[in-house]
Structure 1
Amino acid sequence: MNDISPAASASAGTSTNQPPSLQVENIERGIGSATATFNAGPEHLNIKGMLHGGIIAGLMDVIMAIGAGSHPDPAKRRFSITLSLSMNFIGSAGQGPLALRAETVGGGKRTCFCESRIEDAVGNLIATAQGAFKLMDAGSERAANS
C-alpha cells in the first residue's frame, strides 16, 4: 500500500519507484536514521523456503536510502541515491515480520555513510549492511528526475 504522491515521496526520502515487493511499512524517521517493518510473504522466499538474499539486499538499500536523507521535519528531508552497498548475511529468516533499522555514521553535505540491520520478530540478526549515499535537496529538478 503506497498512498504517497511522487512529489511527497521525494521529499520523504523514499521513492514510489521501489519495486512493489520491497514496500516497507511503519516508517519512523530521526535525524539521519530510520526504522521500518517488512512482512515477508511466500513470494519473497527462495526454493528452500528462506528469505531470498536479493530481497534482503533490496530491503537494506531501501531502509538506508530513507535513513540517509531522513529528518523528522519533512521540510528538512533530502533525496538520496545509493553509491555503494556492502552486505553481511548473518542468519536466515522465513515468512513473517522483520524489523529494519538504519542510521548515518558519517559524511558531509553531499555524501553520507550508513549502517543498517534486519532482525526477525524475536530479535535474531538476519543481516547487516553498510552503504554510501549521495544527498540532494528533495525539491531539486535533478532529484525529481532520478
Structure 2
Amino acid sequence: MDMSEAEREAYIAKIAQAAEETFWGYLGCQVESLTPKQAIISLEATTHHMNLIGMVHGGVLSSLLDNAMGVLIASLLPGAKTVTTNLNVHYVAPMYAGKLIVTADLLHQSRKMLTVYGSITDSEGQLGSIGTGTFRIISGD
C-alpha cells in the first residue's frame, strides 16, 4: 500500500495510540520512523527492563525485535491479522540502561508469509542483538 507522507504520519500515530494499552505500551516502545520497507522503534531501557545482573533482560530484547517486525508488517498490510510463527534471536553483546534502537527490515514476502530481519543497537550504535522473524497472514480486511 502506497501512502503519502501525511498518511504515513497519521498511520504511525494510529498504531502508536492503539498499541499504548498493550504489551507494546507496557514495555515503553516508541515509533521513530516507518517506511514501506523498514520500521525503527526505540525504548528507553530502565530498571524494570533489567535482569538480576544489571543487563537488559533477554525477554525484553526479543520482545523489541518482535514488536518492531510487527509494526513493519502492520504498515505493509493495514487491516490484516498476522502472527509470529518463528523468531530467532542472537544476543551478540550485553545491553544496558539507556536508549535502545530497533530496526526491522523486510526480507521477503509471499502470499501468506513474510520474513523480517531486525537488529538492536544502543544510542552509540553498538550492536546488542539481531534476529529474524517469520509471520503468517491469518486474515485480511
Q: TM-score, normalised by structure 2?
A: 0.78
Alignment match of 1:62 (pick from 62, 67, 73): 67
The CA distance in 1 between the partners of 2:122 and 2:81, in whole Å, is: 28
Helix, strand or coil at the partner of 1:69:
helix
Aligned residues: 125
- Pick closer, same or farther for the CA change 1:26–1:65 going to 2, 3 Å: closer
How far is 1:20 from its partner? 4.1
Q: Is the 8 A contact 2:24 2:67 kept in 1?
A: no
Gaps of 5+ in 1: 1-7, 141-146
CA RMSD of aligned residues (A): 2.2
Amino acid at match of 2:133: G
Aligned to 2:3: none
Give a deviation string over 1:78-100, Cα, whole Å, max 9, x none: 44311110010001111110111
- The sequence identity of aligned pairs, in percent, is 22
Question: Equivalences for 1:98-137 in 2 at 5 Å?
Answer: 98-135=100-137, 136-137=139-140
Question: Equivalences for 1:72-87 in 2 at 5 Å?
Answer: 77=78, 78-87=80-89
Pair 1:48-2:43 in alignment: no
**More helix as a share of residues:** 2
Amino acid at match of 2:120: I
Give a deviation string over 1:78-129, Cα, whole Å, max 9, x none: 4431111001000111111011100110021221000000000100000000
Gaps of 5+ in 2: 1-13
Aligned to 1:33: 38
Helix, strand or coil at the partner of 1:129:
strand
The CA distance in 2 between the partners of 1:109 and 1:43, in whole Å, is: 39
The CA distance in 2 between the partners of 1:19 and 1:116, in whole Å, is: 17
How far is 1:18 from its partner? 1.9
How far is 1:15 from its partner? 7.7
Aligned to 1:144: none
